[in-house]
Structures are given as C-alpha cells and as structure tokens.
A and B are shown apart, each in its own frame.
Chain A
C-alpha cells in the first residue's frame, strides 16, 4: 500500500498531472503541501567570510598534507615510530658525523644533497611539538630559498621551486595553527622569509635562462601572495595582542571592589544591564 502511495506521490512531485480526487483519496494532498512548504523555505547560506575562510582552510590542509606526502612515510607519525629508529641507525652507520655536517651546506646536484634531505625528513618526523615543528618548517623553507639562490641562476630544477612553495605554505599553515600568544614570533619570521624570498627570486629571475623563467615567475607570484598572507596574519596578531594589553590596563585601572561584597559602592548604579541571553541561532 505504501509503495503505491509512494509512487503516486513521487509522480505528483515530479510534476505529473493527476486527478485531485485521486490524490485526496490516497491522502497525499497534505504531503504535497508539506513538500511545497519545504521547497519554499528561504534556506540559509554560509556567510561570505565563512566561505572565504573555509577555502583558505581547505587549501592549507591540502598544502600541509601534500608536503607531508612528499616526505613519504617519514611524514606520518605511525610509520615514523616504527621505522625511524631503523633509518636513524642506518643513516648514522653509513654517514659519519662529518658527512652529515658536510651535507648541511650541500645544494641540489651535490652527492651529499640526498643525505641533507634525508636528515631533514628525520628531523621533521621526530618533531611533534607544534611550536618546534612550526619553527623547523620555517627554517626548512629558508633552506630551500638558499638553495634556489645557489643553483637557480644556472639551472633551476622545477622540483626545487615546487619544494620551496610547498614548504613555505606548510610553514605558514603550521604557524597560523599555533595557539594564541605563541605565533607572533614565528609569524614575524614568515613575514621576513617571504620578503627575502621575493628579493632572491626576483634577482634570480633577472639572470635565469628562458626555460627557467615560467617556473620562477610562478614561484615569485606565490611568494608575493604568501607574503601578503603573512602580513595580514601578523597584523591581526599584533591587533589581538594590543587588545589584550588594553584589557589588562583596564583591569588594572578599574576601581577596587567594595570591601564587603554585599556593601554597595558610593557611586550611583545605573539600571542593570542584563547579559543578553543566547537566542536561537539565526542562519
């Protein structure tokens, strides 16, 4: 019975012309009315600000995960816990402390460069504390920039520019995710880093061969956007800190409360301002 009525209702909802008596008889008229009411509701929409912030979150999350995927299983804590000790042993056994130190200053194309990147991956996988991890990501982005500066005038591998972009984005995203009060210093670093990136990339671009130009121009554009984003985040953070300081000052300058909580102060009190209740959420 339900099935027949359901099919009849579906047909009516799909716009088929059915005799009103048939609908009445099947008791479907009220349901069609309910369907119409639902269709006529003015449905809520996300605010433009929420939409924009959402897109930033989507891009950040994807950038961070892409960066982590580039590191392969080094980027994943579960695998890291399992395999890192082994990798460490192998790295330490194969490479003497001197080799690792020498690798520090290597650039793409050098024999020791893979060692440098391997050590970085290990460091990153072992650094879980948000502040330390953010600082490490910033310093890795800084290293990529130094490498671009060193090698890109002659020949600029596209993967190095991609790494520079991804590590900068991952660093910015990690810094922005840090709790209030801890991010100002690193935001400042990001701001300076992206500023330097633009200088370096612009200089490299001047001397770069034609084939390397499109990649460098794209990296420069990304860097400009990153710099703007860092600037805005930094300004917001500074504003937030200022507000906090003002709040503290207001608290310090506020008249001290009466000695006894039941004794009123001498100042006449205005009519009580009730805290507005939390009404239903307006979509």
Chain B
C-alpha cells in the first residue's frame, strides 16, 4: 500500500512536469516496457527506441490518466501495445514475418524440450508465430508476472476471458516451441 501511495505521488508530480518524478517513473518501469516491446517486436534496437516513445506519450497523456482506474504500469503496457500496432502499420508488414525460424534441429532435441531451459530468442521466435492477443497474455502473465486481473485491465477484457486466452495461448505457444525445437 505504501508503495502504491509512493507511486501515486510520483505520478502526480510527473503530471505537473516534475523532472525528478519523470526520471523516477522511467527508471522504475523502462526495463519492463522494454521487455514487453522486445518480445512483441523481436528487435532490440526498435524496442529500445520505442521504450522512450512510450514514456513520452504516457507522460503527455497523464492529464487523461485516472489514478483510481488503472495502475500506472497497466497504463504503460496499453500505450506500448498501441505503439506495437503503430510500428507494424509503419513497417507495413505482418508480425509473423519478422524473424526467420532457426534451421530444423534433430528429434533428440524435441524429446529433451520438456526439460530444457528456453532462451529469450527461442521464446521470442515462438511468440512471433502467435496472434497478438496470445503474445500479449503470455508476456504480461509469465514475463511480467501480472495477475489475471491486472492483465484484464491492460487488455480491456474480463478476467474470465483472460483465463481462456491464457489457456489457448499456452497451448499455441507449446505447439510453436515443439515445431521450432
């Protein structure tokens, strides 16, 4: 609770243009926004660029942000999701075509897959073949560690819908990983 109150006060100061508050919010949330963008876009440099853009938009939009409604992190993820859409619109290409899959590997590796540790690249390749809503739910739930309710707030859906989405997304990701490994 104290942490939330502290965050609220920083957000309020940032709303008034306080430079220190903007720096605090950036340092606290930029890594999470970057991870989200990296897994959605698959390109480190683009994710780094868009991270700062997300913050500019978030801070400019603070007058519209209702403290009682959405947590600040959820507000950032929403803006990041919109930037992902914008990015693909600008690039005029589909997310699924952004990365070439690695060359096929032996069946032995497929057997070991259940026990093996995934790398960030493998996860990203697996996510690249999924619909955007599936990507979003996987990243927010298992990379960022948000609860079902928090994901529901970010995605503008009910918690029940998020649970169904999560089930389908995990099944689809598993199929993708089995294909790729």
Task: Tell me the A residues contacting B by CB distance below 8 Å.
Answer: 2-3, 5-7, 9-10, 13-14, 30-31, 33-35, 37-47, 50-51, 53-55, 57-59, 61-62, 65-66, 280-283
Q: List 11 A-B contacts (CB under 8 A).
A: A9-B163, A9-B167, A9-B170, A10-B166, A33-B114, A38-B138, A42-B119, A55-B52, A62-B59, A65-B60, A283-B38
* A36 nearest in chain B by CB position: B142
Q: Chain B: interface secondary structure?
A: helix
Bound state CA distance, A282 and B38, in angstroms? 11
Which one, B23-31, B64-72, B76-84, B88-96, is touching chain A? Answer: B23-31
B22 touches A62 (CB 8 A): yes
Q: Quote the shortest CB–CB distance from B54 to chain A (angstroms).
A: 9
Q: With an 8 A cutoff between CB atoms, is B85 at the interface?
A: no
Chain A residues with CB under 8 A of B163: 6-7, 9-10
Q: With an 8 A cutoff between CB atoms, is B173 at the interface?
A: yes
B34 touches A46 (CB 8 A): yes
Chain B residues with CB under 8 A of A41: 117-120, 123, 143
A46 touches B31 (CB 8 A): yes
Q: Quote the shortest CB–CB distance from A157 to chain B (angstroms).
A: 18
Chain B residues with CB under 8 A of A58: 22, 26, 52, 55-56, 59
B55 touches A54 (CB 8 A): yes
Chain B residues with CB under 8 A of A39: 142, 145
Q: With an 8 A cutoff between CB atoms, is B174 at the interface?
A: yes
Q: Quote the shortest CB–CB distance from A247 to chain B (angstroms).
A: 24
Q: Quote the shortest CB–CB distance from B154 to chain A (angstroms).
A: 16
A31 touches B120 (CB 8 A): no
Chain A residues with CB under 8 A of B143: 38, 41, 43
A45 touches B34 (CB 8 A): yes
A66 touches B17 (CB 8 A): yes
Q: With an 8 A cutoff between CB atoms, is B12 at the interface?
A: no
Most chain A beta-carbon contacts within 10 A, residue among B42, B44, B59, B163: B163
Bound state CA distance, A5 and B145, in angstroms? 21
A3 touches B121 (CB 8 A): no
Chain A residues with CB under 8 A of B51: 46, 54
User: Which of these, B30, B43, B148, B174, contacts A31 with CB under 8 Å?
Assistant: B174
Q: Quote the shortest CB–CB distance from A33 to chain B (angstroms).
A: 6
Chain A residues with CB under 8 A of B56: 57-58, 61-62, 65
* B38 nearest in chain A by CB position: A44
Q: With an 8 A cutoff between CB atoms, is B109 at the interface?
A: no
B30 touches A283 (CB 8 A): no
Q: Quote the shortest CB–CB distance from B86 to chain A (angstroms).
A: 16
Q: With an 8 A cutoff between CB atoms, is B104 at the interface?
A: no
* B115 nearest in chain A by CB position: A33
Chain B residues with CB under 8 A of A61: 52, 56
Q: Quote the shortest CB–CB distance from A15 to chain B (angstroms).
A: 11
B173 touches A34 (CB 8 A): yes
Bound state CA distance, A7 and B119, in angstroms? 28
A40 touches B60 (CB 8 A): no
Q: With an 8 A cutoff between CB atoms, is B35 at the interface?
A: yes
B167 touches A2 (CB 8 A): yes
Q: Quote the shortest CB–CB distance from A43 to chain B (angstroms).
A: 5
* A29 nearest in chain B by CB position: B114
Q: With an 8 A cutoff between CB atoms, is B11 at the interface?
A: no
Q: Quote the shortest CB–CB distance from B49 to chain A (angstroms).
A: 8
Bound state CA distance, A62 and B58, in angstroms? 11
* A28 nearest in chain B by CB position: B167
Q: With an 8 A cutoff between CB atoms, is B108 at the interface?
A: no
The 6 closest A-B pairs by CB, nearest first: A6-B167, A54-B52, A38-B142, A10-B163, A57-B52, A6-B164
Bound state CA distance, A41 and B173, in angstroms? 14
Chain A residues with CB under 8 A of B31: 45-46, 51
**A34-B174, A45-B31, A280-B121 known; A50 and B48 CB under 8 Å?**
yes
Identify which of residues 99-119 in chain B touch chain A, using a CB-to-CB cut-off of 8 Å: 102, 114, 116-119
**A46-B34, A66-B17 known; A37 and B117 CB under 8 Å?**
yes
Chain B residues with CB under 8 A of A40: 117-118
Chain B residues with CB under 8 A of A7: 163
* A5 nearest in chain B by CB position: B167
